[in-house]
Amino acid sequence: MESQQKYPKHYSFEFFPPRTDKGKTTIAKTLDELSKLKPAYMSCTYGAGGTTQVGTYDTVKLIVDRQQTAVPHITCIGSSKGVICNLLKTYTELGVKRVVALRGDLPQGQSDPGEFHYANELVTFIREEMGEDFGIEVACYPEVHPQAPSARADIENFKRKVGAGANCAITQYFFNIDAYFRFVDECEQSDIHIPIVPGIMPITNYTQLAKFSDLCGAEIPRWIRKRLEDYGDDLESIRAFGLDVVSELCRRLLDAGCPGLHFYTLNKHEPIVALWQRLGLKGPV
């Protein structure tokens, strides 16, 4: 963990573009509430193949309207250099100076990857287009990306993204803290020297969490899973237990010197505010 301790801590929030009118009302309120916490930035996801192009833009605009630093995600699979170039131009006009660069996953039934195959190619392209002053975040996987042939190969891929010009990384969420510590140490041994910010998933709904975790390869440890199963529909107990577990995870990460936290908000402010207060966090230093 030593290499991570030198970076100033920053806290960021991730949203997804709402699909319904109710979702649009919720996100406006969520952004208002979370803006009060003065995060370093707020990011918004982007569907692979451009499926949420308008929704992502609209959400980024809502963030900018609240005088917050907006960081759009850009996925490259199924896309082209022309499309990415236009996206970068549109975002630059909004004042965006940093993006999260990802491969994404091809939607079911689609097999043409387009002009990019992996995220490192997107990082190279963005660096060429935007120069050195533009910030590029990438994803990394302490519990190993589900399609990686091996843990070693996954770190080599992460290294390619850093070599291509990524400034900072956000991890997939995890509940096994040792996976993060080991990953960071292995990155250090592999000469990867950028902040590796833990992605934090609040626990508020077991069914949804189990579904996400199956898809993205994040393990829910048995001792957590069993308790969440026991709570059944008792959402209040799930939330109270989730707050204990996740705030303890965050506290141990911060005490060990991680360079901040990136919260997957799922467009809800209450679980994030509860964590923030439990941890006694402040905005960027």
Q: CA torsion, points 59, 62, 64, 70, in degrees to nearest 10?
A: -30
Whether the Cβ atoms of residue 135 and residue 98 lie closer than 8 Å to each other: yes
Q: Which stretch binds ligand FAD (CB under 6 A): 46-54, 60-68, 107-115, 181-189?
A: 46-54
Residue 151 makes contact with ligand FAD by CB under 6 A? no
Residue 18 makes contact with ligand FAD by CB under 6 A? no
Among 27, 42, 87, 119, binds ligand FAD (CB under 6 A): 119
Query: Sheet containing 70-75: which strands, arranged edge to edge?
Result: 196-197, 168-171, 135-140, 98-102, 70-75, 41-44, 10-15, 260-264, 199-200
Active site amino acids: 14
Q: Which stretch binds ligand FAD (CB under 6 A): 45-53, 63-71, 222-230, 252-260?
A: 45-53
Q: How far is the CB of 265 from ligand FAD (least distance, A)?
A: 13
Task: Write out the binding residues for ligand FAD, residues 158-217 only, by CB under 6 A.
Answer: 161, 170, 172, 199
How many chain residues touch ligand FAD (CB under 6 A)? 24
Among 40, 48, 166, 228, binds ligand FAD (CB under 6 A): 48
Q: Which stretch binds ligand FAD (CB under 6 A): 106-114, 124-132, 146-154, 184-192?
A: 146-154
Whether the Cβ atoms of residue 198 and residue 180 lie closer than 8 Å to each other: yes
Q: Phi, psi at residue 75, to the nearest 5°?
A: -105, 150
Taking CA 144 as the corner, what is the angle to CA 143 and CA 147, rounded to the nearest 5 degrees?
140
Q: How far is the CB of 149 from ligand FAD (least distance, A)?
A: 7
Q: Which amino acid is at 191?
A: D
Exposed, middle or buried: residue 169 (CB in 10 Å: 0-12, 13-18, 19+)? Answer: buried
Mark 72-111 with x for binding to ligand FAD (rule: CB under 6 A) and - for no binding: -x-x------------------------x-xxxx------
Q: Residue 239: left if φ>0, alpha if ψ -120 to 50, beta else—which one?
A: alpha
Beta-carbon contacts of 220 under 8 Å, excluding residues fewer than 6 positions away, are 175, 209, 210, 213, 228
Residue 4 makes contact with ligand FAD by CB under 6 A? no
Residue 228 makes contact with ligand FAD by CB under 6 A? no
Q: How far is the CB of 180 from ligand FAD (least distance, A)?
A: 13
Residue ranges binding ligand FAD (CB under 6 A): 45-48, 73, 75, 100, 102-105, 118-119, 139, 145, 147-148, 153-154, 157, 161, 170, 172, 199
